[in-house]
Amino acid sequence: MAADIGLIKAAKDAYKFQNPNFGKALSDPIKEGDKRRREQAEKLRLEQKAQAEQLRREKKATEERINREIKGYIDQFPPGIPISSIPEKYRPKIQEFAFNQKSIYNAAATARANMQAGTSEYQEQTDKMNGALQAVANLKAQWDLFGQGKEDSLSNFSGEDDLYGNFSKSNSRGLIALNGALFTDKLDVSINDQGDLFFDDGQGGLFKMSDLKLPTMKAAQEAMAIENLLVKAYENGVRLNKTSLDYNMSQIKKTIQKGGIDVLKSLAVDDLVAGVSLLDPDDEIFTRLNSQDLEVAMEAKEQLENFVYSQYRSALQSQAEQGYRVKNPVPQNSNKHINWLRANANRLPQYLPGTVDQVIAAGSDRDRQFEIAKGNMSELGDILNEEVYSDGYTVEWNEEQQSFELLNQRGKEGMRFVNFYKMEELPRLMQYVDMNPND
């Protein structure tokens, strides 16, 4: 039998008038459940944030300790004494080795004096003599390598708060620490019969001096070449078309590819270009990049290249656009909103999510802790919206993007979106409104 639509509607309306709180009774438990889930998710986020902050502090403390040890070692050397001189700690081992080799040489030379040249016995003693000479020469070459490595490494430590100095932050802290310990004479030494120099790695193993991997340097030269291109794009004041953009990017790619993987990693993590780091050294992509699985490592390298190239491509476009606007200013623009942002620089941060320390400082009041931890980005969005509304724009906080969404009131339906802006990008948002008013 077909449903009687009229009858159903009548019954629905009749029940609605009898029980006006029907919908509320259904929705309240659902809302309560949603609220609990949001609070649980927020609690988890705060715990993860606290753990991340603890790890960051431990990492910083470790770097500061290593840096203090290295700086203290450098400060011990008075002027005029070369840092590459053999440390007192290692001289007994060297003297013992030299004495043994000299004894082998003298014994072989004495024995050979009583033998006929050309015999196998004569040749055997000659080989012992040559072996002793070669062992001493080999040891000397490795100590020279040690001395040069010490000069190079210690001169590249900054001596300031930054552990890495001229070394790239793409080097593992373990490698930096090992080199720091080696060249501040903290590791024990051993010498084999061939004059090969070995050091204790501090973990029960040994490594050969000639096999030591030195930390890679920051890609300062390559960064300067890239930065020069960005500056030139700005100073030219011409918007880049696809051909011009592709040409500039080809120069950047050649610079990076010529330097190899170490240059690529340095440009990604060291704040060399415009003082900006593109990635954190602990990003998982570097773990994959160092994988023993060649396929995994090659895939990570390609992803890193694409990411770095895309960042520089966007930077080129941005610099060219900014240079163009400076040379071709829009007559009606002003610095009204930028000036407002500067004037309110101390007011706006109060709406941001609190730090771990701020949450702890709130005491035992859980509601207050939650309020500080969460911040009030929606209210901050309302304040920004009030500022730009008269110029034909609206601003609102987008929770999913964790950014402020700028919309053009004069845009056509479906085409009003301008861009997303993080908190630190608010100057760009205000500059855009200043330069593109809709009133």
pLDDT at residue 252, as a whole number: 95
Hey, which of 4-18, 33-47, 279-293, 352-366 has the most confident mean pLDDT?
A: 279-293
Per-residue model confidence as pLDDT tens digits over 420-429: 999 889 999 9
Q: How confident is the model at residue 222 (pLDDT cuts 50, 70, 90)?
A: very high
- 194 vs 438, which has greater pLDDT? 194
Q: How confident is the model at residue 145 (pLDDT cuts 50, 70, 90)?
A: confident
Per-residue model confidence as pLDDT tens digits over 273-284: 888 888 998 899
- 322 vs 330, which has greater pLDDT? 322
User: Can you give the three-state secondary structure of 101-137, one letter per residue?
Assistant: HHHHHHHHHHHHHCCCCCCHHHHHHHHHHHHHHHHHH
Per-residue model confidence as pLDDT tens digits over 104-134: 888 888 888 778 888 999 899 889 989 988 9
The b/e string for 350-366 (b: 16+ C-beta within 10 A; e otherwise) is ebebbebeebeebeeee
Q: How confident is the model at residue 159 (pLDDT cuts 50, 70, 90)?
A: low
Per-residue model confidence as pLDDT tens digits over 332-353: 557 889 999 999 988 888 888 8
User: Can you give the three-state secondary structure of 6-26, one letter per residue?
Assistant: HHHHHHHHHHHHHCCCHHHHH
Q: Where are the domains positioned within the chain?
A: 5-64, 88-211, 220-327, 336-435
> In 10 A of CB 240, how many CB atoms?
21
Q: Under 8 Å CB-to-CB from 91, ≥6 apart: which residues? A: none
pLDDT at residue 267, as a whole number: 94
